[in-house]
Amino acid sequence: MPSALVNRMVHVHLKPSHREWLSWAQDHGIHPWVLDYVRSRPTQLATELPPTKEEPFSTPRSWHCVSDALHAFGENIAPDHLDALLFGCLTRDHAIGFKAFLKQIRNKFSVHRILNGEEPWPAAPEDRDLTYFLTQSLRDLLVKELPEREATLGRETRDLAQAAKASLKSLARIDGELAQLVLTENDAGERVPDWFVLDIAKELPRLLAQKA
């Protein structure tokens, strides 16, 4: 807008709350897949800053649009239709994440099953998006559950840390780049505790060298 017009207006910056939106969405027919995804990736409800060029970006409105289309097409929506829908409505990274989330649902993959040794990491090249999503899910789980200080570990969190280290070693043999993703910040700027980073960082370089 021209600066003279900008100066004649009051500008209010609104930030959507995923909790409030989810509370509203549950009572207004938003598709369960969208609800579950936003619960697991609350920072992806809305893009922090709209892109500088003309391209789709995520907002509560665009997720509502995705929900309406999923209701219309049904759960057996064709892959090309799903691509057109997601990449036409959402931020690219969010579209990729949601596709992987659906693949996880359809193939019944679970980060908890991987941690328990009940199933391996997806290793096929065409499943890299799924492996990427599961890796992000593992990172979010560790950020949420592991304490900041190793000295305060309980039995359950200690078992979780050991299972995560074993799983990451297995992942490093498949894709070292994804294994290292667990040690980076998530969308909210959070990361796993430093003591866990130091423990696994000692192992990953050796595993990557063996893989090479």
Report domain extents, the chain.
16-107, 111-211
Whether 135 and 142 have beta carbons less than 8 Å apart is answered as no
Query: Is a pLDDT exceeding 60 seen at residue 208?
Result: no
Q: Give the residue-averaged pLDDT of 54-78.
A: 94
Q: What pLDDT was estimated at residue 71? A: 96
| Closest of 178, 189, 46, 208 to residue 100, by C-alpha | 178
- DSSP letter (8 states) at residue 182: T
207 confidence band (pLDDT: 50, 70, 90): low
Q: Give the residue-averaged pLDDT of 86-112.
A: 90
Q: What pLDDT was estimated at residue 209? A: 58
Q: Which of 25-39, 90-104, 178-192 has the lowest mean pLDDT?
A: 178-192
Q: What pLDDT was estimated at residue 211? A: 57
Positive/negative CA dihedral, 27, 30, 33, 35: negative
Q: Give the residue-averaged pLDDT of 165-188.
A: 88
CA 30 to chain centre: 19
Q: Which of 125-129, 155-159, 206-210 has the lowest mean pLDDT?
A: 206-210
Q: What is the pTM of this model?
A: 0.71
- DSSP letter (8 states) at residue 122: P
206 confidence band (pLDDT: 50, 70, 90): low
Q: What pLDDT was estimated at residue 200? A: 82
